[in-house]
Chain A
Amino acid sequence: MTWLTEWAAYLPQMMSGLGVSLLIAGVSIVAGYPLGLVLSVMVSARNLALRTLALAVVEIGRGAPALVILYLFYYGLPKFGIAFESITAACLALIWNSAAYSSEIMRAGIQSVGRGQLEASSALGLAQRHTFWRVIMPQGMRSAIPGLMGVAIQMFQGTSLAYAIAVPELMKSAYNIGSQDFNYLQIFALAGLCYAAISMPATWITVFFEKRMARHA
């Protein structure tokens, strides 16, 4: 009972932090996915320089920990005189992350479209751009949806790392409250539940989509 009353008292103070977390996640998705689509096409470009660049961006974005990219933007680049506010640095780092992960998922989605579709399109004499945008893309993106939803959840959870560069997001507001009252157990449990309250239903929706699509495949 005491836990619940304490949580009720803490919760309003954490809401602004949750708002910041959702904002960063939203920005990283809205900016990251279109970039990811561009990367997914660039990765199979004929131009070697373009292909190498895209591959490097993707491999670093997926291969290096998000925390490292975050630090690179927030602590690293200022040493070259390029300084960001902490929230901007967090957004940029997560955009890189989400673009890299989403590009791989979209590429796999595009590749999952059967060869027969390409053949039927060329047998019908459809132009390449019609084949790509109207035949391949709609199917590829459809099969990418659950994966992209997964990346969105991953991004939302990833915003918690912005704590490390003092962005006033959910984790940071929890820590601030905790360091006043030393009620760490309650406060971090509550923070965890806030994250879970969004991640868990989102996961269930993703699974629902996956199952539905598997049935109609």
Chain B
Amino acid sequence: MDALSAVLQGLPMTIVLTLSAFAIGILGAVPLAVGLSSSNILIRLTSRLFVDLVRGVPIIVWLFLLKFGIQIGTFKFNPVAAAIVGLGVVSIAYLAEIYRGGLQAVPRGQGEAAHALGLTRGTTFYGVMVPQAFRIVSPSIATYLTGLLKDSSIASTIIVAEMVFQSQSFARQHPTVEGILPYILVGILYIALSLPVAYLSRRLDSHMRKAVYA
């Protein structure tokens, strides 16, 4: 099938965009989540403002801002870099909020018990709070990843040759009835791609449940 192979040409780029932005988000969100739960009000409010501002602006605006708005000396973002950085920054904000929610959901008694046992603040945070929080948020992280997969399609608007971009160009070359096929196929592909993520998250979830409570 022509339409399918056209769409599949964009698959590697879709995966590269998604996974790169996800990696940036997973790591970058850690300090931001700590900032969001900081007891210093200045740090907390600054982090909060950053998170809310980043999430308050649609992704397409971030991508256009990076692609067309940034010029430092001779440096300009190429489309792929703009897409990865843009999606990455947005991921940092969303994941930080997810992390914070997880940390907050760990029962208060856990921290108190750890302190009562004389554990240091670092040990309490990384040894007691973080493992439990991670278990609580792992389904949310998986949901975010499938959302990010879909959002990577927005990169097509700054001419990154991922799946939706490839669908568009195939459809443009086929003005007949066949031209609707790539849109249907690409829709199905996104849904199909999110299935393994959901499966993995469930596996991970039950695995971690054992790890924490066994």
B-binding residues in A (CB < 8 A):
59-60, 63-69, 71-72, 75-77, 79-80, 157-158, 160-161, 163-164, 171, 175, 178, 184-189, 191-193, 195-196, 199-200, 203-204
B177's closest neighbor in chain A, by CB?
A: A79
Within the complex, the shortest CB–CB distance from B68 to chain A, in Å, comes to 4
The contact size tier of chain B is 35 or more
| Chain A hits for B191, CB < 8 A | 59-60, 63-64
Complex: A71 Cα to B179 Cα, angstroms: 11
| Chain B hits for A77, CB < 8 A | 180
Give the interface centre of B70, B184, B187 by most chain A CB atoms within 10 Å: B187
Interface check B44, CB cutoff 8 A: no
| Chain A hits for B56, CB < 8 A | 195-196, 199-200, 203
B152's closest neighbor in chain A, by CB?
A: A65
Complex: A68 Cα to B164 Cα, angstroms: 7
| Chain B hits for A71, CB < 8 A | 164, 167-168, 171, 183
Partner of B177, one of A68, A75, A80, A200: A80
Within the complex, the shortest CB–CB distance from A178 to chain B, in Å, comes to 7
Complex: A59 Cα to B188 Cα, angstroms: 10
Count of A-B residue pairs with CB < 8 Å: 126
Q: A75-B171, A203-B56 are in contact. Are A67 and B154 (CB under 8 A)?
A: yes
16 contacts between A and B (CB under 8 A): A63-B187, A67-B154, A68-B167, A71-B171, A75-B179, A76-B171, A76-B183, A79-B176, A175-B64, A184-B68, A188-B68, A192-B58, A193-B57, A199-B56, A200-B53, A200-B56
Q: A68-B187, A72-B187, A200-B56 are in contact. Are A188 and B61 (CB under 8 A)?
A: yes
Grouping DSSP codes into helix (H, G, I), strand (E, B) and loop, the A interface class, with mixed when no group exceeds half, is helix
Within the complex, the shortest CB–CB distance from A172 to chain B, in Å, comes to 11
Interface check B156, CB cutoff 8 A: yes
Q: A160-B60, A200-B56 are in contact. Are A76 and B179 (CB under 8 A)?
A: yes
